[in-house]
Amino acid sequence: MTHRARVPHALVMMLIVIAAAVALTYVVPSGAYARTPAGLVVPGSFHVIPKDLREGLRHLHTSSDTLAYPANPIAIVTAIPAGLARQASLVFMIMFVGAMFGVLRDTGALEAGIERLLALARGNVYLVAPVIMILLAAGGTFLGLISEYLVLIPIAVVLAERMGFDALFGTAMVTIAAKIGYLTSVTNPLALAVAQPLVGVPVFSGALFRAIVLAVFLPLGIWFLLRSARGRRLISNQPATFHAERLAGRHRAVLLVLLASVVVMIVGVRSYAWGNAELSAMYIVVAIAIGLVGRMPADAVAQGFLKGMQGMLLAGVLVGLAAGVEVVLRNAMVLDSIVAFLSSSVAGKSPTVVAVLMMGVQMIIDVFIPSTSGKAAITMPILGPIARLSGVSGQVTVLAFLFGNGLMNTLTPTSGMLLAYLAAGKVSYGSWIRFVLPLAFVLFVLSGFALLVAVGLGL
């Protein structure tokens, strides 16, 4: 009898990744680009910085502009609190999302609302899943919603299980839609407002071509998920019947509070530049409001709040561990070296080759710098001029950036948000990769083809 090789626990896997990052600092030369006061890279300014390997092994040192040190082996553990501190606001936001969901779950409104939805749809997954995925993809591609969807993962898992499917199906329903929306970014302000000006094209220009790509990619993602539905169905003795009873008054009030919180969240992020701290505060307020309108005793609200936070503890820790990888590489001053090496591999080739290579470069860099805006600030000023010299427009450079960023953020274990999604859905990273890899490969091929079309059209 053969056994499938077990994928290590997510925490063990992230420790392995951090250890690999530490080893990489001894192999990759240190170097740096000059930067503008705004923090943007100055093209052509990369210079190698001497590195003292022996001292790096002996002691913990801080690299400078004149002398760099590799990461001391002890950085495998010191990078963990450093990464948690770096992403503290996101870690706490994730935990408060869990707290809000814990209170919501204890009101019983979530199960009642899902029961009502499924009764109206007669439990038809081929109706429910596409509608949800279209709405989520629209939020990602037009508004740049991605971290905000973390709160929906537990709800999607409950919905999937009520239809007779496993947690992976529910998690994938949100994740695939969100990632395809972000990958195409028709008018995503978070990605486009940073990337497009850096290559000299108007913000939101090229939206029609990206909308066409979305119209191809999203149906493919929906088909992929529904095709897997048969294999993801749980064996259950529970009859597939749904009762269309009217919701109780307190349940309707709880769901209205939840809906209003989503509207407030979108307005706050888009109009008032809310960050993780403001969103965390909002989730606390929403949890209290849900408890009040749900007529829960104060002690029950507190217990649900803490239980929900505990459920998100793993997600928060994984985000910190993922940030630890970047901390190790940045402290040893090898991040810019990696970017410089990969960027040089693009220069001097034909426009079609350059366009596809840029997507590949962005995918590799995404492993080390998962942040969309951070990656744009570093890579766009470098790749933009290289692309222009090769006859590739700024618009295509942005497309390559979006495709590479979106594709790899669906796969890489250094993406804190992906790990948070999976932890919220209680899905292992190994199960996710085995599930989504075929879709990711097809999207990679189609993305390369879309870049060739864009070059051919002179976009």
Helix (H, G, I), strand (E, B) or coil at 266: helix
Which residues have a Cβ under 8 Å from the Cβ of 261 and sit 6 or more positions away? 282, 286, 289
Three-point CA angle 211, 213, 219, nearest 5°:
100
Determine the Cα angle at 348 with ends 343 and 352, to 5°.
90
Dihedral, CA atoms, 181, 185, 187, 193, nearest 10 degrees?
140
Task: Please give the average per-residue pLDDT across 337-363, as a whole number.
Answer: 90
Beta carbons of 207 and 154 less than 8 angstroms apart: no
Of the ranges 116-130, 231-245, 421-435, which is most confident? Answer: 421-435
pLDDT band with cut points at 50, 70 and 90 for residue 285: very high
When mean pLDDT is compared across 197-211, 246-260, 275-289, the lowest value belongs to: 246-260
Token pair for residue 303? 């217990």
Coil, helix or strand for 44?
A: coil
The answer to whether residue 372 scores a pLDDT higher than 50 is: yes
- Residue 245: pLDDT above 50? yes
Rounded to whole angstroms, the Cα distance separating 144 from 137 reads: 9
Provide the pLDDT confidence category of residue 39 given band limits of 50, 70 and 90.
confident
As a whole-number percent, the residues of the chain with pLDDT over 90 amount to: 35
State which H helix or E strand residue 47 sits in: strand 47-48
Inform me whether the pLDDT recorded for 299 exceeds 90.
Answer: yes
Residue with tokens 């989730």: 283
Q: Residues 287-295: what's their mean pLDDT?
A: 92
Question: What confidence tens digit (pLDDT) does each residue in 55-76 have?
Answer: 777 777 778 888 998 999 999 9
Mean pLDDT for 253-258 is 88
For residue 138, give the nearest of 283, 266, 276 by alpha carbon.
Answer: 266
Token pair recorded at residue 9: 């626990």
Q: What is the mean pLDDT of the chain?
A: 86
* pLDDT at residue 204 in the model: 86
Which conformational region is residue 51 in: left (phi greater than 0), alpha (psi within -120 to 50 degrees), or beta?
beta
Q: Dump pLDDT digits (tens) for 190-242.
A: 788 888 888 888 888 899 999 999 999 999 999 999 998 776 665 444 445 55
Question: What is the predicted pLDDT for the residue at 439?
Answer: 96
Q: How many residues does the chain have?
A: 459
Dist CA 402 CA 363 (whole Å): 10
Each residue's pLDDT tens digit, 125-134 = 888 899 899 9
Confidence tier at 6 by pLDDT (50, 70, 90): low
pLDDT higher for 369 or 402? 402
Tokens 């010299």 correspond to: 389
Report the range of poorest mean pLDDT among 209-218, 241-250, 394-403, 443-452: 241-250
Whole-angstrom distance, CA of residue 436 vs CA of residue 225: 9
How do the domains of the chain map onto residue ranges? 88-316
3-state SS assignment for residue 41: strand
Q: What is the pLDDT averaged over residues 39-62?
A: 82
Helix axes 10-27, 313-331, angle to 10 degrees: 0
283 token code pair? 């989730």
Q: Is 307 exposed, middle or buried (0-12, 13-18, 19+ CB in 10 A)?
A: middle
Helices (H), 294-369: 298-311, 313-331, 335-344, 351-368
User: What is the arithmetic mean of pLDDT over 5-22?
Assistant: 80
> Tell me, what's the pLDDT at 3?
45
Using pLDDT thresholds of 50, 70 and 90, give the confidence band for residue 139: confident
Give the distance from CA 248 to its chain's centroid: 36
pTM, two decimal places: 0.80
Q: What percent of the chain has pLDDT over 70?
A: 95
452 by Cβ neighbours in 10 Å (0-12 / 13-18 / 19+) ranks as: middle
DSSP 28: S
